[in-house]
Amino acid sequence: MKKTSLNFSARAVLPSGFRAAGIIAGLKKSRKPDMALVFSDRPAALAGTFTTNQVKAATVRLDSERVAAVGVARGVVVNSGQANACTGKNGLRNAKAMAAHAAQQFGVPAEQFLVCSTGRIGVPLRMDIILPGIEKLAQSVVPGGGEAAARGIMTTDTRPKRFTVVFKASGRTCRFTGIAKGAGMIQPCMATMLAFLLTDAKVDRRAMQKALKAAVDKSFNRISVDADQSTNDTVLLFANGCAGNQTLKPGHPDWPAFVAALEGVTFRLAMEMVRDGEGARKMVTVKVQGARTPADAEAAARSVANSFLVKTSWVGSYPNWGRIMDALGYSAARVDENKVEIRYDRLLAAKNGLKAGASIAQLSKVAAQKEFTITIDLHLGRHAATVYSCDCTEEYVKINK
């Protein structure tokens, strides 16, 4: 696969053939944007990935069925403030009603519209607000509506998350744009997150689904804010072919460019979720190497990244590598404490399970940075894994009390 260099912009510039909107419908007391809609002027190939939580929101159940059975879509309508999870049969009826009402506004089949919800679990949807909101959204969608849609899906996010990149396929200029929300209940797979990925490239649907899963595994499934997992996690990818290129799939010379756009946008969105974690002040990359198996590397990295004792030590910029050793020891990974090596950025904190190298003052200086890396070498094998995490401050408790 040839290497592809692309320039990513932190904006939501919609690909050709897409329109979007975000509005204040009145679902939140704060009177902030709380609904969004994205629409494709032509049927788009559809791919998706969803939460693995056994408790799934009505929207997840509906969308996963439509991704598998229909495979094409015209749009998605989103509400923020109410999750439509643990709402029983009525919740599924409401999800279907949202999709049908949105489809009716555009004169398209109901099964070609998807629905996403985010917010409090167990709260019935305010359909008396949502249905008029859908009508307002349909009247408001414009090609320049990406920014408004990115704001309309936010919950505890402090800022919108969006990226756009341009690439070439069959000599045609194609655009790939992603918008997402997510700041809390972030723990693979996936996170309390919604992400909508749009491209005007023409892409083979089956190949696109495989590429999306691979991209999600490298991005949204690599992050953790609070070791919690949601009922509503959804990533949807739409490709409407308006760019006029030949169908992209493995073997096509421009397939690597599409994959680079997909993976680049999803990774950047995922990193923004960690940086914007509820109450977070620092982003910390946890790298584990020298593990006996891939599963061991994964388990060790997640154990450290999810430990609240470790995360609170990051708040105070104290390099408490003993807490890291503890988290490694109770993980499912095979660990020999006499072989463990820990570094803060490049500074050696522990070697062979004992204090070594840099002083507390030197390590504290690293831990005081807004972003730093903890590298752990288990010296038991050749496998590695990385998880992107953040500190846990008092503000996280205040937000979630």
**Cα dihedral across residues 400, 52, 240, 104: positive or negative:** negative
Q: What's the CA gap between 338 and 48, in Å, rounded?
A: 44
3 state DSSP class of 44: strand
Phi, psi for 318 (deg, rounded to 5) = -95, 125
> Which phi-psi region, left, alpha or beta, contains residue 97 (left: φ > 0; alpha: ψ -120 to 50)?
alpha
The amino acid at 271: M
Q: What's the CA gap between 394 and 279, in Å, rounded?
A: 7
Phi, psi for 184 (deg, rounded to 5) = -140, 170
Whether residue 156 lies in the annotated active site:
no
- Of 76, 142, 78, 152, nearest in space to 110 by CA: 76
Sorted by sequence, the CB contacts under 8 Å of residue 268 that are 6+ apart come out as 8, 10, 163, 178
- 395: which 2 tokens? 């503000």
Q: How many CB atoms lie within 10 A of CB 211?
A: 22
- 13: which 2 tokens? 């510039």
- Is residue 184 within 8 Å of 55, Cβ to Cβ? no
Bond preceding residue 193 cis, omega within 30 of 0? no
Query: Which one is catalytic: 49, 118, 177, 192?
Result: 192
- Is residue 243 within 8 Å of 203, Cβ to Cβ? no
The residue to which tokens 């929300």 are assigned: 181
Distances (CA, A) of 220 to 144, 280, 353: 26, 18, 32
DSSP state of 62: H
- Is residue 254 within 8 Å of 215, Cβ to Cβ? no
Count Cβ atoms within 10 A of the Cβ of residue 317 and give its class: 0-12 exposed, 13-18 middle, 19 or more buried: middle
Q: Which residues are catalytic?
A: 192
